[in-house]
Every structure is written in C-alpha cells, then in structure tokens.
C-alpha cells in the first residue's frame, strides 16, 4: 500500500512510522518546514519513547520519507490520512475544523486516481461527510471514498498502542474503501486485534464517547478524593477496592491534579457542544468539565495551605510539568494552571522536567528551570510533585528534605506514603484524597 500522511505531529508521525513498519510505503507531509527538515536529518521533533529507533529503521529500509509537498505525496497514493490538529475553536468550545477542511481541499486537487481519504484526526459527527462534499466540490472528477479511522494511542506509550491496539475503528461505506482499509491494517488483523467496522457517524462518535468516558472516570475519582479527605478515608484504598471489580477496572482511577493533555480537555468540550447543537445535552460531560477545572484549582489551595497560607516570597520546587510522564507535550497540562498561580502569588518557582523544558519555557514565564530535583529543592520552602516521571518516583527523600529550608511536600500524584515522607524529615505533607500532616490550622 502507498500511504500519504497529512500532518506529522504526535499522531501523524507515530501512525506514519508504524504503518511503514507494517511494510507499507509511507510519505509523511507537514506544512511546518522546520519539522520536515528535522525529520529529513533523522531527528524526531517530539519526545516519544522508541520512536527515534523505529523511524530510523524504516527510513533506512526505504519505506518512510518526509516532505512539505502535499501534491506530489498524494499523487498515486492508495490512501491519504488526515492527521492534522483539531484544537478547541476560540470562543465557543467547538472543534476547529479549519486545518482538516484545508487539508481536504488540498488533497482533492492532488488526487490522480482512486484513493481513500481517511480522517484520523478527532472530528465531530458529520465531518467525514463534509470532507467528502469539500473534495467533491474541489475536484468533481476525483475517484475517491472517505473513511473515518479515529486514533486511540496514548502519548508516552504510542508505539505499543498503535502496534497492539485494543481495537481499530474504521467507519467506511463502500466495499472498495473497506478493502483498502483491511489491507492497511492486515498485519494487526492477522495478529487478531479486533477491527470494528461501522458507518461514518458511529466511528466519529466512538472516539468522543470513549474520551469523555475516560475523562469522567478520572474526574469521578478526583471528586471521591475530595470527599475522602473530609471523611478521613484513603483514596488509594478506595481506588483499589473499586478497581478490582471487573465491571469497573483499575485504569484511570488514580486521583491527581485533574486531567489535561492534548485530547481530553478539547474533546470533552467539543462533545458538550455537539450535544447542545443536536438538542441532546451531554450533561455528564458538561459537569466533568466544570469539576475538572475545580480539581486543578483545588491543587493551588493545597500548596498555599502547605506554605502556611501564602506563597508570597516562598521558593517552590515543582517536579514535572508535562501533562503526564514520557511525553514533552504541555498542552492543557495542570501545571499551566498551577504554576502561574504560584508565580502570580509571589513565589519563586523552580521547575524540573526530564522533557518539558523545550515546550514549557515559553508557556511558563517567570520560572527558573533546573536540571535535577535536589538542586531545585536546595533552600526551598516546598516541593510539589506534579507529574509522576520515573525520575521522581524513587527520590532520596532524606537528601531532599535535608536540602530544603522548610521541608514540605505536596504530592499531587500520591506517590509517597506519608509515613516515609515524615520519617525522611519532612515537616509537612499534603496529598490528594489521603491524610497529610503538619499543616498549620
């Protein structure tokens, strides 16, 4: 199969690399010349574990190339995937389809023979039909079908998710297009990963419904965490006791500083707007959005309480600012709410993150970037564990406490047992949904 991938970001690049590893002939296109230049030099513009090696292997094998020239890449392709961004549209919360529709029109003009135009971007219900109409309008003679193929990979584990998916969803309405999609995903089908064929609208809905459900699960446990703090229960025990129930499952049941990232915030917002447009309000999702916002703000109060009522003049070390570990993605990270509030409150904030600096420098003005947790904690008044990178899971708590002016910790990922923190010499500790100690009342 000859595949063109339009949009070489987190999803397009991983998908392109993995499709080439399946044995297909893949060309990745991006309109950002900086990205293409880096990729042509063999550099990977994002941090994603394992991606550099798999990319190099497939470039070497001659199956994977990069270009800024969409027309040449699309000509002769069996399938063209659209993997451009669908961010929240300014002002109204809808998904912004500008990039998808622009890509569709460009693709239309470049088609040379039968081709399946596959939307991999997360798009609202009805978008694939709009893509079809736009292509038809731009190139009435074109021979093509559209297909919806939403992506479920998680940043940080993207290659494994792509190569060993729970399922592949394909919305498709002609036998010819279905045959092309089946050929593309044959290596997964042969290994018995389920492929769910649906109509276009159902495929589009599956992606939003799945993400809204996961965001709901996280938000539910964060709400339970707040109640646990009030009633003296431990959210870790509650999560474990709940999660062992096979109907519930233990994933996405870890209390923390609220969901963020490139998908959940924008997809819950878009789903809420779709529900309103179709007079079928998604009230659970609307509530999840509001509660998640409160959860993030509650974390700021925790840090202020930890610092004795004000962060003004305090030195605070923040460990981890990416929205989750093993990615450099800062989009909608809880740190973008919490850190500016601390800086605005007069704190001197030092930040450590294994991969977040490149993106984070512009997004977190007024902070000092440091290389390791112990240097950041030296002379500090509090340390905040915000993203659970492995580097922060096995800290020498005794050394950390000894370096600090006031050893106090806000463990917003519930990594350390309070007893261990106390034993290491910390005078105060707060977590999420569990008892802390040492707070001034």
Q: Which residues bind ligand NAD (CB under 6 A)?
A: 6-12, 29-32, 35, 70, 83-86, 99, 102-103, 106, 121-122, 151, 153, 155, 262-263
Q: Is 263 a catalytic residue?
A: yes
Query: Judging by DSSP bridges, how do beta strands 315-319 and 348-352 pair with one another?
Result: parallel
Residue 120 CB, nearest approach to ligand NAD (Å): 6
Secondary element (H or E) of residue 29: strand 25-29
Residue 270 CB, nearest approach to ligand NAD (Å): 9
Residue 301 CB, nearest approach to ligand NAD (Å): 30
- CA-based nearest residue to 272, from 320, 216, 232, 318: 216
Q: Which is nearer to ligand NAD, 151 or 411 (CB)?
A: 151
Query: Which runs of consecutive H residues, i.e. helices, occur in 278-392?
Result: 283-306, 335-344, 357-363, 373-377
Q: Is 7 helix (H, G, I), strand (E, B) or coil?
A: coil
Residue 327 CB, nearest approach to ligand NAD (Å): 8
Query: Judging by DSSP bridges, how do beta strands 79-82 and 115-119 pair with one another?
Result: parallel
Spatial distance between the Cα atoms of 256 and 323, rounded to a whole number of angstroms: 11
Query: What phi-psi label fits residue 27: left (phi over 0), alpha (psi between -120 and 50 degrees) or beta?
Result: beta
Q: Which of 18, 228, 263, 307 is catalytic?
A: 263
Residue of minimal Cβ distance to ligand NAD: 9
DSSP characters over 80-109 = EEE----PBPTTT--B--HHHHHHHHHHHH
| 437 DSSP β-pair partners | 429
Spatial distance between the Cα atoms of 61 and 42, rounded to a whole number of angstroms: 13
Q: Which is nearer to ligand NAD, 145 or 151 (CB)?
A: 151
Residue 136 CB, nearest approach to ligand NAD (Å): 19
Spatial distance between the Cα atoms of 26 and 64, rounded to a whole number of angstroms: 5
Spatial distance between the Cα atoms of 11 and 121, rounded to a whole number of angstroms: 8
Q: What is the dihedral of CA 63, 69, 73, 79, to 10 degrees?
A: 110
Residue 35 CB, nearest approach to ligand NAD (Å): 6
Supply the residues annotated as catalytic. 263
């Amino acid at each position: 199969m000859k595949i063109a991938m339009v949009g070489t970001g987190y999803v397009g690049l991983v998908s392109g690399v993995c499709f080439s590893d399946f044995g297909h002939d893949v060309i990745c296109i991006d309109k950002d010349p900086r990205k293409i230049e880096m990729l042509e030099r063999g550099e990977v513009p994002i941090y994603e574990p394992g991606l550099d090696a798999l990319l190099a292997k497939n470039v070497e094998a001659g199956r994977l190339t990069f270009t800024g020239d969409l027309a040449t890449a699309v000509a002769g392709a069996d399938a063209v995937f659209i993997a451009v961004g669908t961010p929240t549209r300014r002002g109204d919360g809808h998904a912004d389809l500008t990039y998808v529709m622009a890509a569709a029109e460009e693709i239309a003009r470049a088609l040379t023979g039968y081709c399946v135009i596959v939307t991999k971007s997360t798009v609202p219900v009805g978008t694939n039909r709009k893509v079809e109409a736009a292509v038809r309008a731009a190139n009435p003679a074109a021979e093509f079908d559209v297909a919806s193929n939403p992506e479920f990979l998680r940043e940080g584990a993207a290659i494994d998710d792509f190569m060993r998916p729970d399922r592949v969803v394909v919305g498709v309405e002609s036998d010819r297009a279905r045959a092309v999609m089946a050929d593309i995903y044959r290596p997964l089908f042969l290994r018995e990963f389920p492929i769910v064929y649906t109509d276009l609208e159902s495929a589009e809905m599956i992606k939003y419904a799945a993400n809204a459900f996961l965001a709901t699960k996280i938000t539910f446990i964060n709400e339970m965490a707040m109640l646990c703090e009030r009633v003296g229960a431990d959210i870790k025990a509650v999560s474990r006791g709940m999660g062992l129930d096979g109907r519930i499952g233990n994933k996405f049941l870890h209390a923390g500083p609220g969901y963020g990232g490139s998908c959940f915030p924008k997809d819950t917002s878009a789903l809420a707007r779709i529900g309103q447009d179709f007079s079928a309000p998604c009230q659970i999702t609307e509530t999840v959005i509001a509660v998640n916002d409160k959860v993030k703000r509650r974390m700021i109060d925790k840090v202020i309480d930890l610092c004795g009522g004000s962060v003004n003049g305090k030195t605070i070390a923040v460990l981890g600012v990416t929205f989750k570990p093993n990615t450099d993605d800062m989009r909608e990270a809880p740190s973008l709410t919490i850190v500016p509030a601390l800086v605005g409150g007069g704190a001197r904030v030092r930040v450590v993150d294994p991969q977040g600096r490149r993106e984070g420098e512009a997004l977190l003005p007024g902070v000092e970037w440091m290389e390791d947790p112990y240097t950041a904690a030296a002379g500090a008044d509090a340390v905040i564990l915000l993203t659970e990178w492995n580097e922060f899971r096995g800290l020498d708590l005794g050394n950390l406490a000894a370096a600090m002016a006031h050893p106090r910790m806000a463990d917003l990922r519930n990594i350390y047992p309070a007893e261990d923190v106390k034993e290491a010499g910390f005078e105060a500790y707060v977590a999420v949904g569990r008892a802390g100690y040492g707070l001034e009342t």
